[in-house]
């Protein structure tokens, strides 16, 4: 039974300093990179020669100025994520309709319906947040954009978080949700066979694992035709060079990665259910879109997955955003470069949907 829809996502309480920071963030689009460079100096350049986006350079400087505890508690991390998104959020993209309900008896979802859902594709979307933070509200904006700009029904899953439900609990939730989501999509007018899955960061990890399981274990529900993996976590060994290069200063830090890894607690870092990038066979998977950011610790493992996927014969698109950082999906309302990146993601998704139509 559908639950009453909340007219707006719940927002954390903001104090005066937060409102001042929010006002500063909203002014970013009006400041030219030349002015910012004159104030802060030139933006950092990574080892590949890519420059950090100038406006993002200022945003990161503001974030550092108001940073909280060096080693926050889990509760503080969850609060910080919600508050950080509230500080840079903008007007939500309009969608044709919104539904909140529960799948498979106990899995909350939020459904974003396009204006004309009849026969359209659908996506099960899995939010990021290190398997320990994030929820339906934290990724409301990107789900709205995926829906409105791609004429796509998006079903966002509120999977259980660690450490309350450690590895492989979230994987089990995704597997259970998939066939139920297909049935819900059909009831709400979408084409159940035009099935896709997507996610960012930890959600990209879960999306990739689900596609591997569906291929190998004959899971119920339609076969996914496309997977969208935005700066996905693909290798729990944390051995790629980008982890060392961007360990500090670019939002997702080594300290945070180590904390989330310990909370999720997979017993074997090399197991493909923890590290889908180590899946020995990447053939026979759905059309794959991998998105990476140039100043992200997870950059290299995402690129490695895209490279191996292509070599295995899986249709694969790699979108590289060289001047951005992990988490840019949430920055599109204040950062022109992030907004442009989301538009490119939607363009690649539109082309992928065209190629995978049943």
pLDDT, tens only, 105-149: 999 999 999 999 999 999 999 999 999 999 999 999 999 999 999
Least confident of 59-63, 159-163, 254-258: 59-63
- Residue 40, Ramachandran bin (φ over 0: left; ψ between -120 and 50: alpha; else beta): alpha
- Quick one: pLDDT at residue 7? 36
* One-letter-per-residue 3-state SS of 279-347: CCCCCCCCEEEEEEECCCCCHHHHHHHHHHHHHCCCCEEEEEECCCCCCHHHHCCCCHHHHHHHHHHHH
Look at residues 182, 177, 185 and name the one whose alpha carbon lies nearest to residue 112: 185
Q: Take residue 172 and report the two structure tokens written for it.
A: 């089990």
pLDDT per residue as tens digits for the range 276-300: 999 999 999 999 999 999 999 999 9
Eight-class DSSP state of 52: P
Q: Take residue 89 and report the two structure tokens written for it.
A: 């959020």
Task: Give the catalytic positions in this structure.
Answer: 201, 296, 326
Can you tell me the mean pLDDT for 22-49? 77
Q: How confident is the model at residue 71 (pLDDT cuts 50, 70, 90)?
A: confident
Q: What is the pTM of this model?
A: 0.93
- Quick one: pLDDT at residue 88? 86
3-class DSSP state of 147: helix
Mean pLDDT of the chain: 92
Q: How confident is the model at residue 10 (pLDDT cuts 50, 70, 90)?
A: low
Give whole-number Cα distances, 280 to 168, 255, 273, 276, 287, in Å: 20, 29, 12, 9, 18
Give yes or no for residue 56 having a pLDDT over 90. yes
Least confident of 7-21, 117-131, 165-179, 253-267: 7-21
């Amino acid at each position: 039974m559908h639950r009453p829809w909340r007219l707006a996502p719940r927002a954390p309480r903001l104090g005066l300093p937060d409102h001042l920071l929010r006002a500063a963030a909203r002014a970013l689009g009006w400041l030219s990179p030349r002015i910012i460079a004159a104030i802060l100096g030139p933006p950092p350049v990574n080892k590949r020669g890519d420059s950090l986006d100038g406006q993002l350079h200022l945003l990161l400087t503001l974030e550092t100025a108001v940073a909280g505890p060096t080693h926050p508690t889990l509760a503080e991390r969850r609060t910080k994520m919600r508050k950080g998104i509230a500080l840079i959020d903008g007007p939500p993209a309009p969608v044709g309709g919104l539904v909140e309900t529960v799948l498979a008896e106990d899995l909350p979802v939020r459904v974003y319906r396009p204006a004309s859902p009849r026969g359209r594709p659908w996506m099960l979307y899995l939010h990021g947040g290190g398997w320990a933070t994030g929820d339906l509200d934290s990724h409301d904006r990107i789900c709205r954009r995926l829906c409105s700009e791609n004429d796509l029904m998006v079903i966002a899953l509120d999977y259980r978080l660690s450490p309350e439900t450690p590895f492989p609990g979230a994987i089990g939730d995704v597997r259970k949700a998939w066939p139920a989501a297909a049935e819900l999509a059909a009831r709400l007018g979408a084409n159940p066979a035009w099935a896709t899955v997507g996610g960012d960061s930890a959600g990209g990890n879960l999306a990739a694992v689900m596609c591997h399981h569906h291929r190998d274990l004959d899971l119920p529900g339609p076969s996914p035709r496309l997977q969208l993996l935005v700066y996905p976590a693909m290798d729990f060994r944390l051995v790629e060079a980008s982890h060392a290069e961007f360990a500090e200063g670019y939002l997702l830090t080594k300290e945070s990665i180590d904390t989330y890894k310990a909370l999720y607690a997979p017993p074997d870092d090399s197991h493909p259910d923890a590290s889908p990038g180590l899946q020995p066979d990447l053939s026979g998977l759905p059309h794959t879109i991998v998105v990476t950011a140039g100043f992200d610790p997870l950059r290299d493992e995402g690129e490695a997955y895209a490279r191996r996927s292509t070599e295995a014969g899986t249709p694969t698109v790699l979108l590289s955003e060289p001047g951005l950082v992990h988490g840019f999906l949430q920055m599109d309302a204040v950062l022109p470069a992030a907004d442009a990146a989301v538009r490119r993601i939607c363009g690649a998704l539109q082309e992928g949907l065209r190629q995978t139509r049943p």
